[in-house]
Amino acid sequence: MENVINPDIKKEHQVKIKQVIDEVSKVVVGQEHMVNRLLIGLFTQGHILLEGVPGLAKTLTVNTLADVLHLDFQRIQFTPDLLPADLIGTMIYNQQRAEFEVKKGPIFANMILADEVNRSPAKVQSALLESMQEKQVTIGETTFKLDRPFLVMATQNPIDQEGTYPLPEAQVDRFMLKVHVGYTSKDDELEIMRRMSNMAFKPKLKTILSKDDIFAIRDEINQVSLSESLERYIIELVFATRDPKAYQLEEEAHYIQFGASPRASINLNLAAKANAFFEARDYVLPEDVKAIADDVMNHRIILNYEAEADGVTTHDIIGSILNKVQISK
């Protein structure tokens, strides 16, 4: 039997989510989409891959969000000489006690920012992704559960790819959302310039949500209803990436090498529920699915060289699919 959610508490949590976004905006200007996606990941236990050129406040946004939620935050700069032990920890010898003891690494925090994750070798990336998947770390012969909530935000720079170690498709698939962070508007950048050029600018942030609130919101999102027709719509969207010709997507079929995995279906469901909850609804609309479809699927569709030659992107393909695939009555 499902727990009955107190509607007053649920409404209070929905108000608090808006307050979190307002509080972050005291520091970060014009990145509402990124903040929204980070919160979706936090409340649905998904991890986020942020892609954008340097200087777009990716690190600042994650750090500020951790402050507003009063969560432990660790930033890890991924470099070619980073070792798995630098991430998860290692055994060190205590001379006084004449025994080995565990020294935990920075992965033991609530919010992890893996900065430029594609700059470290595969073994370090694998250690991070194993922690994301298993929610635990093994050091020596001892396994440690990671603290909850546990959210990884990894960033990668789309330019300057020389000397990098691109994440394999199977590992990228473990990220719930891949969010492309773009430039801000002229007005937003004017406000950023004014704030950052004022050396006395140090806004005081209030803590809005506790850990208990976060867990309660997860339960509330889990009870958002999704109709069978929308469930089938999600399946149709994902299958359209695998067999585009069956959906009259003849042109797109020339460009798709591999379609989205089953994780796309699962995460479309979860993210659509979270989006509906943020809009103060306890039911999902088609607009919720469409709103998050690009962030869920853009890293799960593998295009061929012909697409690259013709300048076709996964965003173009997803747009065509959303236009073509209809919701069955």
**DSSP tag of 283:** B
Q: What's the pLDDT tens digit per position in 138-160?
A: 887 788 898 889 999 998 877 66
Residue 2 included in any domain: no
Same domain, 75 and 158: yes
**Computed from CA positions of residues 234, 235, 240, 246, in that sequence, does the dihedral angle turn out positive or negative?**
negative
Same domain? 245 vs 136? no
Q: Each residue of 104-144: pLDDT tens digit?
A: 889 999 999 998 888 888 888 888 888 888 888 888 778 88
Scan for tokens 């889990």, then name that residue.
222
Q: Fill in the DSSP letter of residue 225.
A: B
Cα separation of 279 and 270, whole Å? 15
Q: Residue 219: how many CB atoms within 10 A of its CB?
A: 13
Residues 111 and 143 in one domain: yes
Q: Kindly tell me if the per-residue pLDDT of 281 is higher than 70.
A: yes
Specify whether the CB–CB gap between 82 and 120 falls below 8 A: yes
Q: Please identify, among 148, 183, 213, the residue that sits at the C-terminal boundary of a domain.
A: 213
Parent domain of 313:
225-324
Q: Are residues 131 and 249 both part of a single domain?
A: no
Chosen domain end from 157, 178, 213: 213
Q: Tell me: do 37 and 174 sit in the same domain.
A: yes
The end-to-end CA distance of the chain, in Å, is 29
Answer whether residue 7 shows pLDDT above 80.
no
In a domain, 1, yes or no: no
Q: Is residue 218 part of a domain?
A: no
Q: Which residues pair with 94 in a beta bridge?
A: 99
Q: Which two tokens stand for residue 5?
A: 């959610």
CATH of the domain at 76: 3.40.50.300
C-alpha 199: how far from chain center = 32
Tell whether 89 is covered by a domain: yes
Reported pTM: 0.90
**Closest to 107 (Cα-Cα) out of 136, 133, 142:** 136
Determine, yes or no, domain membership for 130: yes
Residue 104 sits in the same domain as residue 64: yes
State the DSSP H helix or E strand holding residue 258, giving kind and residue range, or none if neither: strand 256-258
Residues 60 and 147 in one domain: yes
Please tell me whether residues 254 and 206 are part of one structural domain.
no
Three-state SS for 198? coil
Same domain? 207 vs 237 = no
Highest mean pLDDT among 54-58, 123-127, 321-325: 321-325
pLDDT, residue 113, reads 92
